[in-house]
Chains A and B, each alone.
Chain A
Amino acid sequence: MNEEGVRVERVPPQGETAGAGRQWLVAASHGSRGTAFSVRDSFKRRPLLWLAVSIAALALAGWLILRTGGPAVDGTWLRMQERGSWRVGMDPSFPPFETLDAEGAPVGYDVDLAREIAAEWGLEAEIVAIGYDSLLDALLVDRVDAVISAFPYNARMTKDVHYSPPYFEAGVRLVVGAGAAYEEVGDLEGGTVAVEWGSRGDAIARRLQREGAGFTRLPFESTEKAIEALLSGASNALLIDGVTLRLAQGEGKRIRAVGAVLDEDPYVIAVSIEAPKLQSALLQALAALEEEGRMELLEERWFGQVSGQEE
């Protein structure tokens, strides 16, 4: 209705024929059947246009195929093959994972792991010593092909860096004597848990208490004293990180981890996100080392044998 509330007949626009509105409705409801369009006729009339459209379509298809389905080039892997070595960055200041021997040569669990993996590919491992906080930068600017340095997984970096599956779990564990019957935090109701005062294990013990766990927290000034308390029976359990646990086990202390990891801290190998061949080769190499028991041997070499019952 118009402002006066009077219905008026619609006046056809200039040039519109009387039946044009109806014609439009027919075209809309019956699709192309309402028009006189024919591809063959159109092709005859505009051969150049159709040629251009065909070329553009072919170019688009080619680009899509190359982009999505074509073989990706892995510059890192090619450089490794040309060089004959896998260049691995690490900060040799964290034994037994990596340190320098009396002659200044890098030694440790990570060094041997790098060598074992490189050997799987027929390459030498070339260790490049870099400060811990510069390791990722070195990887991102291709100064190294990988980082193996008791290096933690960082979800925020996954758009720039590819991480291998974890090869060592350094997170906090609940630890008990090898012969103890405790299997989880809930079993420690009324018992005691030793921690290094101020450590991550201490923070977790306090959190568990806030959440209702019924144990008494026993803080000690060092990890060594907390372990001693467990071994002497002064404490029923202990909260320590995976590295300290494994070192203590290697020293012959009869202790074992129970329950799930309470604060995950997996060590991983970092490689470039743009190195798909290296990523898959790394995955295969780690799987092969695991299957053949060589990862376990590596751990025993640098941490010692576990004398108690593990898990």
Chain B
Amino acid sequence: MIGRFSSFLRRKSDAFNRIPPLAPPSPRAGKLIGVLLLCAVFGLSYRSYFRNWVPLGPQRTVATINPKMGVHTRLTDEPDAAKIKQSLEMVREMGAPWIVEYFPWAYYEPRRGHYEWSHPDLVIDHANRQGLTVIARLGYVPEWARPEDSHHLYLEEDNYEAFGRYAVEFVNRYRDKVAYLIIWNEPNLSLEWGFRPVDPASYVKMLKVVYPMVKAAAPEVQVLAGALAPTLDPPGSEWSMNDLDYLQRMYDAGAAPYFDILAIHAYGLGFDADEPAGESVINFRRSELLREIMVRNGDGHKTAMITEGGWNDHPRWTRAVRPAERILNSVRAYEIAIAEWPWLENVCLWVFRFPWDQKSYQDYFTFVGTDFEPKAIYLEMQAYAEGRFEAP
């Protein structure tokens, strides 16, 4: 069998040798081929670089009667540069100078020490050019930094330093463009804590690792902590911990020196913006209870930011309000921030736009459609920012 195979190879080899070799190209033809190859390489590089590029345009500023207006954008999964630019232009045109945007660690450090900054470059450069102040939310664990098959929000304490290194790389790159970082999101929900029991002390350990690293790299960058989900789950719930209890436990664990600003999530649900705060109710003014905890723990000199919040006008979600109520409450929220809460730097309402329809109640939190058609609430917020808002 082997002899037969050798014979086959020999015959193939002979047949190959009978093919006449190509004549060497002339020097002129060689030069032409070289030029063509160079053009092809240049063309491909140009196309690759510019295929998702749109000009930044002139430097803009936000015109508004209320400098505390803000929105949470959701450009994380929006790859199209033109759409990123259009979103941020529309935020500016609405009159909101602040945006919160999510910069997932797993997206931008997919391999340990290997960073991909092209997408955040787009978002941050366009936001800056539109005159918007970016508050960067960091989280989402890459596969290499967590056990196999674990949840993407599962981060063990051993890897807090790796998360800190990502934060440092982020501030090193954007220190002139991004002045605010939110460390993690809603750690008082089991869902956001990798489906483990929530653990305020462990979250504070994260702050104790990440905060000094960020400050060593860029002392001027302000670190936000908390971003707690408002919840009324009873003690011992497997799903979450009451946000008021969680914040106090953060202080008990020594969090105070490890954040500069408290991030607050302030959803109004079915209540008016002026509904009084109460420990057993989730409404917009629950923010005042979080503020009281800050003051009680000696953090009265610090400020807070509402980095998520607002109302929903879904026709069938049980926690939604009518569209008219959503408009009135949103305007009132911005007014409360500027008139009543000097300790609050901004109100960033959830959520400006999604890259695609969620086909759920989440679509009724947005200000513009996925096709950029402005919803009525967008136009009313714009009217408010221009000082011409008038309810019918």
Contacts and interface: CB of A to CB of B under 8 A. Distances in A.
A203 B21 CA distance: 72
B359 A154 contact: yes
B356 A156 contact: yes
B14 to A, nearest CB: 7
B251 interface: no
Contacts of B21: 10, 13
Interface string A195-224: 011111011001100000000000111100
Given A20-B18, A202-B376, A2 B24 contact: yes
Given A198-B324, A203-B374, A24 B359 contact: no
B357 A221 contact: no
Nearest to A2: B24
A1 B26 CA distance: 6
A51 B20 CA distance: 36
Nearest to A7: B23
Contacts of B18: 16, 20-21, 23-24
Contact of A21 (B20, B374, B375): B20
Contact of B324 (A1, A23, A91, A222): A222
Interface string B298-337: 0000000000000001011110001110110000000000
B236 interface: no
Nearest to A198: B323
Contacts of B313: 198-199
Interface string B344-361: 000000000000110111
* Interface residue tally on B, bucketed by range: 20 to 34
B375 A203 contact: yes
Contact of B373 (A15, A21, A157, A207): A207
Interface string B128-160: 000000000000000000000000000000000
Contacts of B26: 1
A200 B327 CA distance: 13
A203 B360 CA distance: 19
Interface string B5-28: 000000000100111110010100
Nearest to B330: A198
B330 to A, nearest CB: 10
Contact of A93 (B17, B20, B316, B326): B316
Best-surrounded residue of A196, A202, A207 (most CB of chain B within 10 A) = A202
A68 interface: no
Contacts, number: 79
Contact of A197 (B14, B24, B316, B376): B376
Interface in A2-30: 2, 10, 13-16, 20-21, 23-24
Interface in A212-247: 219-222, 241, 243
A226 B149 CA distance: 54
B324 A221 contact: yes
Nearest to B313: A198
- By secondary structure, the A interface counts as mixed
Contact of A196 (B324, B359, B361, B374): B324
A132 B392 contact: no
A197 B324 CA distance: 5
A199 B324 CA distance: 8
* Interface residue tally on A, bucketed by range: 35 or more
Given A156-B356, A222-B324, A15 B20 contact: no
Contacts of A243: 315
Interface in B351-383: 356-357, 359-361, 373-377, 379-380
Nearest to B13: A15
Contact of B326 (A13, A157, A198): A198
B324 A154 contact: no
Given A221-B324, A222-B322, A198 B376 contact: yes
B374 A93 contact: no
Given A132-B360, A133-B360, A197-B392, A14 B376 contact: no
Contacts of A63: none
Nearest to A195: B376
Interface in A147-179: 150, 152, 154, 156-157
Contacts of B19: 24
A110 B316 CA distance: 15
Nearest to A17: B18
A152 B361 CA distance: 12
B306 to A, nearest CB: 21
Given A13-B17, A154-B359, A207-B373, A202 B323 contact: yes
Contacts of B379: 206
A50 interface: no
Nearest to B19: A24
Given A1-B24, A1-B26, A203-B375, A156 B318 contact: no
A43 interface: no
B375 A10 contact: no
B377 A198 contact: yes
Contact of A16 (B17, B317, B323, B380): B17
A109 B324 CA distance: 28
A45 to B, nearest CB: 9
B357 A154 contact: yes
In order of increasing CB-CB distance, the 5 nearest A-B pairs are: A198-B323, A202-B376, A219-B392, A154-B359, A198-B376
24 contacts: A13-B21, A16-B17, A20-B18, A21-B18, A21-B20, A23-B18, A24-B20, A91-B316, A94-B316, A150-B316, A154-B357, A154-B359, A197-B391, A197-B392, A198-B324, A198-B326, A198-B376, A199-B323, A202-B323, A206-B379, A219-B392, A221-B324, A221-B392, A241-B315
Given A20-B18, A24-B18, A198-B377, 5 more contacts: A24-B20, A93-B318, A203-B374, A203-B375, A206-B374
